[in-house]
């Protein structure tokens, strides 16, 4: 089987990987104004079988979400313009089933989160830096219910 | 030489009459019950009266001081101050209240706020001076504590700001190293190197999380096993301790959680463990024992920290406490144990067992 690291476009016919028998690839929307973080997180999620999309601000993220509804929104809290929490609340209004994971490296976000909680919005906050394996576990955990549900429907 | 009695009849002993049957004795009673030291002296600086508060503040009894020179309580180097005061009093000049130091009988210095007024006889001649000295030690202590807590707050704010700046690049590096490792064949050396790099990045990440945790001191009280906290910090600091030749000996025998503000204890352990290599520069053993109290009267968990240095180490305990309380404003100073000491102060016992062996124990009740 061909190694993932090879990029040659020419693949011998006997080495062509079998068709993906599991078409279910949860759509995860990754939002961070630090493009290096957004890009690497997207890459990590893609390698783990998610259909990950990247946005660098909340407006772009909303546009993308309207085109491809996400099953999970993974967003930084402090973003230019609309904050990650406002984005999460908006996405939740449009797609009530969308799961939300917030991540942030700023202590001040705890205050923002507390204020959202007072308004009845409960979000999980991951504190940066988040190790990729922990991030993957959290994403999988958030989508668990959905996957089980999807599996049952498919079966 | 006889000394004229000041106009204000300041008595150091009870009068034979009733306490308040004449104005003089009322005044004497007020002087005696004052919290401030009130003493009088003649123009040669010889003490003529000495109240109870003066005994408490300076350590000398009235018998020891009356008839003696006031210079006994003037610290070396400040004799000129007393001479100048007497000079001004003789000339009938006013002396503005001032802050100064005085020498106690036990040799300690005491910070005082002094008000000096001339004492005149019935004919209006200046015959001496009355001095009121207020002990400033407590006020100074409070001031120092305030300065320290303000300093810590500023340092905490700075550390939190720096942490925020570090977080993003650290997240990116962590992700890139992870992706690089996934792209390396597991049999190659690069894979092992990248795995080690991830481990080190994880240590940095844990420190960052701690710092953010400390900054948010508002975290409410929670139920925790103290040994879990100790363990968490040892995971971070153990490599550094080992590198400094310090062995760690842990014994966890607590079976019940305690309800505490976790971040405060986190600050304490973090400060302790990061300061141990500085305190035991030649290596040694760090013993941490977490157990339920052996004392039937105390229902709670006891944390005993033992420092055993290799080779003689002067002032081991003092250095440890100094670093713990971050009096020197060291680099980890802002994570001071000060709030913990303030909350559990009476339950914290520290003792030096030998010149190279010190113990710090504190107790947290199960409430």
CATH number assigned to the domain comprising residue A102: 3.40.50.2300
Domain of B294 in residue numbering reads as 219-367
Q: Sort out which chain A residues have CB atoms less than 8 A from B174's CB and list them.
A: 129-132
Q: What is the token pair recorded at B294?
A: 């052996």
Domain edge (last residue) among B66, B101, B135: B135
Q: Sort out which chain A residues have CB atoms less than 8 A from B183's CB and list them.
A: 4-5
Contact A112, A77 (CB under 8 A): yes
B202–A131 C-beta distance less than 8 A: yes
Assess if residue A16 is contained within a domain.
no
CA distance A114 to A116: 5
B170–A37 C-beta distance less than 8 A: no
Assess if residue B242 is contained within a domain.
yes
DSSP letter (8 states) at residue B185: -
Assess if residue B175 is contained within a domain.
yes
Burial class (CB in 10 A: 0-12, 13-18, 19+), B230: buried
Residue B267, pLDDT score:
62
Per-residue pLDDT band for A125 (boundaries 50, 70, 90) equals confident
DSSP letter (8 states) at residue B122: T
Q: Are residues B231 and B312 in the same domain?
A: yes
Handedness of CA B50, B51, B53, B55 (dihedral sign): positive
CA distance B134 to B123: 30
CATH (domain of B262)? 3.30.565.10
As for how many domains chain A has, the answer is: 1
**Test mutation, B158, B161, B168, chain A, max A CBs within 10 A:** B168
Residue A6 has pLDDT above 70, yes or no: no
Domain of A68 in residue numbering reads as 25-154
Contact B221, B264 (CB under 8 A): no
Residue A155 CA, chain-centre distance (Å), reads 26
Return the number of other C-beta atoms located less than 10 Å from residue B190's C-beta. Answer: 13
A130–B215 C-beta distance less than 8 A: no
Residue A71, pLDDT score:
95
Q: Are residues B131 and B186 in the same domain?
A: no
**Test mutation, A38, A43, A79, A107, chain B, max B CBs within 10 A:** A107
Assess if residue A38 is contained within a domain.
yes
CA distance A102 to A100: 7
Return the number of other C-beta atoms located less than 10 Å from residue A86's C-beta. Answer: 15
Residue B235, pLDDT score:
74
A110–B171 C-beta distance less than 8 A: no
Q: Are residues B342 and B237 in the same domain?
A: yes
Cα nearest neighbour of A131 on chain B: B174
* DSSP-H helix ranges across chain B: 23-33, 52-58, 62-65, 79-90, 137-182, 189-215, 226-243, 262-279, 316-324, 338-344
> Which stretches of chain B drop beneath a pLDDT of 70?
1-24, 145-146, 148-154, 156-157, 160, 211-222, 261-268, 271, 313-355, 367
Residue B6, pLDDT score:
41
DSSP letter (8 states) at residue B6: P
DSSP assignment of B190-257, as one string? HHHHHHHHHHHHHHHHHHHHHHHHHH-TTPPPEEE-HHHHHHHHHHHHHHHHHHTTEEEEEEEE--S-
Residue B325, pLDDT score:
53
**Test mutation, A105, A111, A127, chain B, max B CBs within 10 A:** A105
Residue among B182, B208, B215 whose CB faces A129 most closely: B208
Direct distance between the N- and C-terminal alpha carbons of chain A, in angstroms, rounded to an integer: 28
Per residue in A23-70, pLDDT tens? Answer: 678 999 999 998 999 999 999 999 999 999 999 999 999 999 999 999
Per-residue pLDDT band for A16 (boundaries 50, 70, 90) equals low
Q: Sort out which chain B residues have CB atoms less than 8 A from A131's CB and list them.
A: 174, 178, 198, 202, 205
CA distance B101 to B110: 6
Assess if residue B245 is contained within a domain.
yes
CA distance A51 to A93: 22
Give A114's Cβ-side CA count (13 Å radius). 8
Cα angle B92, B93, B95; round to 5: 130
Domain edge (last residue) among B105, B120, B135: B135
CATH (domain of B60)? 3.30.450.20
CATH (domain of B186)? 1.10.287
Residue A63 CA, chain-centre distance (Å), reads 15
Q: Are residues B180 and B229 in the same domain?
A: no
Residue A11 has pLDDT above 80, yes or no: no
In degrees rounded to 5, what are phi and psi of residue B90?
Answer: -60, -35
A36–B172 C-beta distance less than 8 A: yes
B172–A34 C-beta distance less than 8 A: yes
Contact B198, B178 (CB under 8 A): yes
Residue B55, pLDDT score:
93
Q: Are residues B311 and B269 in the same domain?
A: yes
Assess if residue B15 is contained within a domain.
no
Sequence-separated (6 or more) residues with CB below 8 Å from residue B357:
B306, B307, B308, B309, B316
CA distance B47 to B25: 20
B164–A129 C-beta distance less than 8 A: no
Assess if residue A17 is contained within a domain.
no
B178–A37 C-beta distance less than 8 A: no
As for how many domains chain B has, the answer is: 3
B141: left (phi over 0), alpha (psi -120 to 50) or beta: alpha
Residue B204, pLDDT score:
86
Assess if residue B5 is contained within a domain.
no
A-to-B residue pairs, Cβ atoms closer than 8 angstroms: 66
**Test mutation, B156, B157, B172, chain A, max A CBs within 10 A:** B172
Enter the ipTM.
0.75
Handedness of CA B295, B298, B302, B305 (dihedral sign): negative
Burial class (CB in 10 A: 0-12, 13-18, 19+), A82: middle
Per residue in A77-118, pLDDT tens? Answer: 888 888 898 999 999 999 999 999 998 876 556 666 777 777
Q: Are residues B290 and B319 in the same domain?
A: yes
Q: Are residues B305 and B204 in the same domain?
A: no
CA distance B207 to B209: 5
Q: Are residues B163 and B120 in the same domain?
A: no
Q: Are residues B316 and B229 in the same domain?
A: yes
Assess if residue B203 is contained within a domain.
yes
A131–B212 C-beta distance less than 8 A: no
Residue A1 has pLDDT above 90, yes or no: no
Q: Are residues B197 and B241 in the same domain?
A: no
Sequence-separated (6 or more) residues with CB below 8 Å from residue B346:
none
A4–B183 C-beta distance less than 8 A: yes
Strand A27-31 relative to strand A51-55: parallel, antiparallel, unpaired?
Answer: parallel
Assess if residue B11 is contained within a domain.
no
Q: Are residues B230 and B367 in the same domain?
A: yes
CA distance B362 to A139: 41
Cα nearest neighbour of A37 on chain B: B172
Residue A87, pLDDT score:
93
Average pLDDT (A113-138) is: 81
Sequence-separated (6 or more) residues with CB below 8 Å from residue A69:
A27, A95, A98
Q: What is the 3-state secondary structure (H, E, C) of chain A?
A: CCCCCCCCCCCCHHHCCCCCCCCCCCEEEEECCCHHHHHHHHHHHHHCCCEEEEECCHHHHHHHHHHCCCCEEEEECCCCCCCHHHHHHHHHHHCCCCEEEEEECCCCHHHHHHHHHHCCCCCEEEECCCCHHHHHHHHHHHHHHHHHHHHHHHC
Q: Are residues B340 and B234 in the same domain?
A: yes
Residue A74 has pLDDT above 90, yes or no: yes
Residue B15, pLDDT score:
42
Average pLDDT (A123-147) is: 84
Residue with tokens 């005993």: B304
Domain edge (last residue) among B71, B101, B135: B135
Per residue in B36-83, pLDDT tens? Answer: 999 999 988 899 999 999 999 999 999 999 999 999 999 988 888 888
């Amino acid at each position: 089987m061909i190694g993932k690291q090879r990029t040659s476009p020419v693949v011998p016919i006997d080495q062509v990987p079998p068709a993906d028998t599991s078409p279910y690839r949860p759509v995860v929307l990754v939002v961070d104004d630090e493009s290096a973080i957004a890009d690497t997180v997207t890459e990590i999620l893609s390698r783990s079988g998610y259909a990950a999309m990247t946005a660098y601000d909340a407006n772009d993220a909303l546009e993308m979400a309207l085109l491809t509804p996400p099953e999970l929104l993974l967003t930084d809290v402090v973003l230019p313009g609309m904050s990650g929490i406002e984005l999460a609340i908006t996405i939740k209004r449009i797609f009530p089933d969308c799961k939300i994971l917030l991540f942030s490296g700023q202590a001040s976000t705890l205050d923002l989160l507390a204020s959202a909680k007072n308004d009845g919005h409960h979000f999980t906050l991951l504190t940066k830096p988040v190790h990729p394996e922990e991030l993957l576990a959290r994403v999988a955990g958030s989508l668990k219910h959905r996957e089980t549900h999807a599996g049952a429907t498919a079966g | 030489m006889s000394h004229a009695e000041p106009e204000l009849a300041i008595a150091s002993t009870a009068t034979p009459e009733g306490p308040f049957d004449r104005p003089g004795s009322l005044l004497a009673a007020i002087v005696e019950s004052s919290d401030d030291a009130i003493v009088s002296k003649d123009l040669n600086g010889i003490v003529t009266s000495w109240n109870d508060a003066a005994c408490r503040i300076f350590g000398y009894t009235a018998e020891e001081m009356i008839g003696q020179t006031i210079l006994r309580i003037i610290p070396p180097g400040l004799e000129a101050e007393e001479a100048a005061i007497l000079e001004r009093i003789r000339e009938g000049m006013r002396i503005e209240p001032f802050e100064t130091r005085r020498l106690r009988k036990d040799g300690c210095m005491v910070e005082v706020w002094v008000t000096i007024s001339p004492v005149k006889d019935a004919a209006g001649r200046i015959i001496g001076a009355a001095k009121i000295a207020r002990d400033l030690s407590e006020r100074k202590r409070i001031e120092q504590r305030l300065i320290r807590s303000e300093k810590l707050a500023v340092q905490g704010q700075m550390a939190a700001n720096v942490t925020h700046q570090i977080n993003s690049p650290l997240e990116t590096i962590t992700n890139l190293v992870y992706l690089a490792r996934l792209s390396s064949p597991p049999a190659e050396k690069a894979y092992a190197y990248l795995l080690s790099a991830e481990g080190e990045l994880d240590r940095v990440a844990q420190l960052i999380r701690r710092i953010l945790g400390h900054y948010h001191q508002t975290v409410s009280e929670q139920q925790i096993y103290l040994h879990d906290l100790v363990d968490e910090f040892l995971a971070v600091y153990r490599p550094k301790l080992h590198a400094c030749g310090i062995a760690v000996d842990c014994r966890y025998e607590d079976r019940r959680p305690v309800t505490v503000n976790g971040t405060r204890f986190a600050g304490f352990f973090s400060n302790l463990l990061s300061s141990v290599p500085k305190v035991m520069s030649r290596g040694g053993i760090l013993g941490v024992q977490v157990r339920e109290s052996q004392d039937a009267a105390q229902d709670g968990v006891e944390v005993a920290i033992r420092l055993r240095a290799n080779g003689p180490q002067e002032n081991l305990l003092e250095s440890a406490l100094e670093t713990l309380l971050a009096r020197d404003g060291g680099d980890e100073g802002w994570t001071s144990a000060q709030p913990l000491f303030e909350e559990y102060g009476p339950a914290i016992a520290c003792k030096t067992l030998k010149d190279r062996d010190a113990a710090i124990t504190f107790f947290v009740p199960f409430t």
